[in-house]
A and B are shown apart, each in its own frame.
Chain A
Amino acid sequence: MNVLVYLLPIALSLGLLGLGAFLWSLKSGQYDDLDGAAVRILDDDDVRRN
């Protein structure tokens, strides 16, 4: 069962990575306008047509 000694920390740090990503997105205001985010994605005017 020695494999657990390094597998568990790896699994936990992956989880922590997810938690960190959520906290970052919260801090950068990505949850301030949920309705807006849902419709902004449909707007493709920022894509330049060649």
Chain B
Amino acid sequence: MSPAFDYSALVETRPDGVRHLDLVIEGITCAACIGDIERGLACLPELEKARLNYTNRRLAAEWRVADFDPMRVISRLAELGYKAHPFEPSREEEIEAAEMRFLLRCLAVAGFAAMNIMLLSVSVWSGNASDITEETRDFFHWISALIALPTAAYAGQPFFRNAFRAIRARSMTMDVPISLGVTLALGMSLYETIHHAHHAYFDSAVMLLFFLLLGRVLDQVMRRKTRAVAGNLLALRGETAVVLGDGGAAREVPLKAVRPGDRVLVLPGDRVSVDGIVLDGSSSVDASLVTGETAHAPVGPGALVYAGAVNLDGALTVQVTAAAEGTLLDEVNRLVETAANARSRYLRLADRAARIYSPIVHVTALATAIGWMLLGAGLHDALITAIAVLIITCPCALALAVPATQVVASGSLFRAGVLLQTGDAIERMAACDTIVFDKTGTLTTPEPRVVNAGEIAPDLLEAACRLALSSRHPLAAALAGQALGRSPFPGAREEAGHGVVAQLGPEPGAIEARLGSPTFCGAEAQATAALAGAPDATVIAVRVGERRAVMLMHQVLRPDAAAVVADLRRRGFRIAILSGDREQPVADAAQALGVDEWRSGLKPGGKIDALAAMAAQGRRVLMVGDGLNDAPALAAAHASISPVTAAHLAQSSADALFLGERLRPVADAVVLARTAHAVMRQNLGIAVVYNLIAVPLAIMGHVTPLIAAAAMSGSSIIVTLNALRARLPGREPEQGSPVSATPTRPFVSTQRPARAAP
């Protein structure tokens, strides 16, 4: 059965009648693919626009004809050899794109103004030392004012807005002293210009804006890159649901279009994509992504199933429910919310610095003004000196100290396969001294592996892997991941719910090969015998002619788990395991990794309690987990990381995601976070030293605009150069690094539920 896929929820109709659909394209390897795809789609005349964005691997398709079926684009792409996944840009991504354009406009305006004003200022400085006439100087100052004032009003918006918001919320951020410094510098310069003075600080004010905007743009570029990859990965998971209409007609819709009350059909082998109550059918489910429990649970009518569980045996009809009271989902949601509230009280390093810095600077400026007046200087001179103090301390270096480091570090993490989701992730990870792992899907691979490969004839195992390439079943997909470059058997077809059949060899006397349930392959006896030794494993059987074998599939530890855990312990981290699984599997894993601190059978609340107990001992915990049941713990821990295969709620609760099959990125993340944090503190130190030198000069009234410009740009450059050190030591980016925009890893594709064949 292949229900028609319904794209209407993802197609955006613009007011002028143009329909727009975004697709994430898998399989783009080189620049030639751009031409392949765009020319290949030219044979669809209805399509008005098909443009591939090579940077983020997305295709924008636009058409006007109302009855054009976008499925034709996808099937045409499939003919060309590319897999396309309909994709809807998330709200955050659109907001960030708009923000990025705005920041770039501000940067361009500030850059233009800074260059032109500097041109005029340099003339004035050199003229002041030689023979500039008063008229020319005034003329130059007035033109500077003409450029600087509108520029500050436009390009200063990002800072003024945030500063205003911070003041209204009665808090202190770096934007407040920035806005104050810029405004005062401009006001004073205008006053001085009107009174034909020798010095004006227009160049300082605008240059400050330019440097700070540059920092923000770089930060935004990095964040957008991360967000685009995360969005693509989500689209590759391609989560859809088969909704049953009133007449029993099935249609496949994107998850977003599913409403509570809908009836959803879940075929054997599919991942359940919704939360709901089973109405009809009986089966067993693998809920390891939900509860961490590796043993399969039987479900029948009335049972609750959660998104992320894999349906193993029979078709189920599930009625979608919203999070009802008393269910696991409700409990998890409640716990996540409480934990997230507690966490939002965390004060970032830059804001802490701003809190200490602002009062000191403002009091110093005030003291300067009063001091000079007491010494007999006029009100005008005293105020000018005080404002000069504010300008010279305007936190250019201080405001760049943290973001510049953040950009370099998150870029380095990105290449190591870690996507940062929150702005303060690095700071919080750096403070952690204890790492708590979930077991299932985190320490172990998210998908099962063949554990008895040694006992199976190599040619049978190879045949099984090649057969598995033709199946959509999650177990088969795990097996297909081990096929390593072999091709599927021609003519192999899948019998839904049973397995794959292929005819090997020439037609008369062809041998039949089967892969599937033991019953399907006639291997029940062998299966029973094999299961007796490993009751937790799942069995998949293969038959070629009359030869049969059963493969025991089991989740195994990630290949580098032991090495990474040992490495982390060597670096002084305390390691613990908190799992929702039964005692025996957890004990085995803990023993294999040499971890003595472990607990099993924990409910979501239990994990939080365990974390709270650790926090009470003064330990800062980095939680690494993937299940729905880990979500509250991820939100409650000091910092958290999820594998990219994690349940939705877990992903959105985590500070960072790591890609790939290895655990190495977790260790890289904590190590780099510590390096980056040290660099941030060092940068703040540099900024303080700069102020210690510059402020006395300003108080004594020796700061001319020339000195201000040199000091500010000098300190900013030093801080930025120092930030470049926040990288992973001596690691070349791997060839085909784990973060291409569309990873083609087998484990990602196992997450994809059935898709109707074109």
Residues of A participating in the B interface, judged by any CB pair closer than 8 Å: 1, 4-5, 8, 11-12, 15-16, 18-19, 22-23, 26-27, 31-36, 39-40, 42-43, 45
Shortest CB-to-CB span from A19 to chain B, Å, is 4
A36 and B52 contacting across the interface, CB-CB below 8 Å: yes
A4 and B53 contacting across the interface, CB-CB below 8 Å: no
Q: Which of B104-112, B180-188, B459-467 contacts A (4 or more CB under 8 A)?
A: B104-112
* Complex-state Cα separation, A22 to B139, whole angstroms: 28
Residue of A nearest to B54 (CB): A36
B34 at interface, CB cutoff 8 A: yes
A16 and B112 contacting across the interface, CB-CB below 8 Å: yes
Given contact pairs A1-B133, A8-B143, A19-B112, A35 touches B34 in the complex (Cβ within 8 A)? no
Given contact pairs A4-B139, A39-B31, A12 touches B105 in the complex (Cβ within 8 A)? no
Contacts of A36 in B (CB 8 A): 34, 52-55
Shortest CB-to-CB span from B213 to chain A, Å, is 14
Q: Which of A19, A22, A26, A43 interacts with B34 by CB under 8 Å?
A: A43
Contacts of A35 in B (CB 8 A): 54-55
B109 and A33 contacting across the interface, CB-CB below 8 Å: no
* Complex-state Cα separation, A49 to B625, whole angstroms: 59
Contacts of B34 in A (CB 8 A): 36, 39-40, 43
* Complex-state Cα separation, A6 to B434, whole angstroms: 68
* Complex-state Cα separation, A23 to B55, whole angstroms: 21
Contacts of A31 in B (CB 8 A): 104
B115 at interface, CB cutoff 8 A: yes
* Complex-state Cα separation, A8 to B120, whole angstroms: 9
Given contact pairs A39-B34, A43-B35, A22 touches B108 in the complex (Cβ within 8 A)? yes
B101 at interface, CB cutoff 8 A: yes
Contacts of B53 in A (CB 8 A): 32-33, 36
Contacts of A12 in B (CB 8 A): 116, 143, 147
* Complex-state Cα separation, A23 to B111, whole angstroms: 12
* Complex-state Cα separation, A34 to B55, whole angstroms: 7
Interface of A is mostly: helix
B39 at interface, CB cutoff 8 A: yes
Contacts of B528 in A (CB 8 A): none
* Complex-state Cα separation, A33 to B58, whole angstroms: 10
Of B35, B39, B109, the most chain A CB neighbours within 10 A belong to B35
* Complex-state Cα separation, A15 to B101, whole angstroms: 21
B136 at interface, CB cutoff 8 A: yes
Instruction: Bits for B284-305, please: 1 = Cβ < 8 Å to A, else 0.
Output: 0000000000000000000000
A45 and B35 contacting across the interface, CB-CB below 8 Å: yes
Q: Provide a sorted-by-A list of 5 A–B residue pairs whose CB atoms are within 8 angstroms.
A: A15-B112, A33-B53, A36-B52, A43-B31, A45-B39
Contacts of A43 in B (CB 8 A): 31, 34-35
* Complex-state Cα separation, A13 to B315, whole angstroms: 71
B54 and A33 contacting across the interface, CB-CB below 8 Å: yes
B116 and A15 contacting across the interface, CB-CB below 8 Å: yes
B108 and A26 contacting across the interface, CB-CB below 8 Å: yes
A-B pairs, top 6 by smallest CB distance, nearest first, are A36-B54, A39-B31, A35-B55, A33-B53, A19-B112, A33-B55
Contacts of A26 in B (CB 8 A): 101, 104-105, 108
B54 and A23 contacting across the interface, CB-CB below 8 Å: no
Known: A16-B112, A42-B31. 19 other contacts (CB 8 A): A1-B133, A1-B136, A12-B147, A15-B112, A15-B115, A15-B116, A19-B112, A26-B104, A26-B105, A26-B108, A27-B101, A31-B104, A32-B53, A32-B55, A33-B56, A36-B55, A39-B54, A43-B35, A45-B35
Shortest CB-to-CB span from A47 to chain B, Å, is 13
Shortest CB-to-CB span from B460 to chain A, Å, is 45
* Complex-state Cα separation, A18 to B112, whole angstroms: 9
* Complex-state Cα separation, A1 to B140, whole angstroms: 12
Contacts of A5 in B (CB 8 A): 139
Contacts of B101 in A (CB 8 A): 26-27
* Complex-state Cα separation, A32 to B39, whole angstroms: 21
Contacts of B52 in A (CB 8 A): 36
Shortest CB-to-CB span from B733 to chain A, Å, is 16
* Complex-state Cα separation, A5 to B539, whole angstroms: 88
* Complex-state Cα separation, A33 to B56, whole angstroms: 8
* Complex-state Cα separation, A27 to B116, whole angstroms: 24
Within 8 A of A (CB), among B93-130: 101, 104-105, 108-109, 112, 115-116
Given contact pairs A12-B147, A36-B55, A43-B35, A19 touches B104 in the complex (Cβ within 8 A)? no
Of B31, B104, B115, the most chain A CB neighbours within 10 A belong to B31
A23 and B35 contacting across the interface, CB-CB below 8 Å: no
Residue of A nearest to B146 (CB): A12
Contacts of A15 in B (CB 8 A): 112, 115-116
Shortest CB-to-CB span from B107 to chain A, Å, is 10
Within 8 A of A (CB), among B32-78: 34-35, 39, 52-56
* Complex-state Cα separation, A39 to B112, whole angstroms: 29
Shortest CB-to-CB span from A30 to chain B, Å, is 11
Residue of B nearest to A40 (CB): B34
Residue of A nearest to B30 (CB): A39
* Complex-state Cα separation, A33 to B59, whole angstroms: 11
A4 and B136 contacting across the interface, CB-CB below 8 Å: yes
Contacts of A45 in B (CB 8 A): 35, 39
Contacts of A32 in B (CB 8 A): 53, 55
A19 and B147 contacting across the interface, CB-CB below 8 Å: no
Within 8 A of A (CB), among B517-562: none
Residue of B nearest to A18 (CB): B112
B55 and A19 contacting across the interface, CB-CB below 8 Å: no
Residue of A nearest to B115 (CB): A15
Shortest CB-to-CB span from A37 to chain B, Å, is 8
Shortest CB-to-CB span from B93 to chain A, Å, is 13
Residue of B nearest to A1 (CB): B136
Contacts of A40 in B (CB 8 A): 31, 34, 54
* Complex-state Cα separation, A18 to B101, whole angstroms: 17
Residue of B nearest to A27 (CB): B101
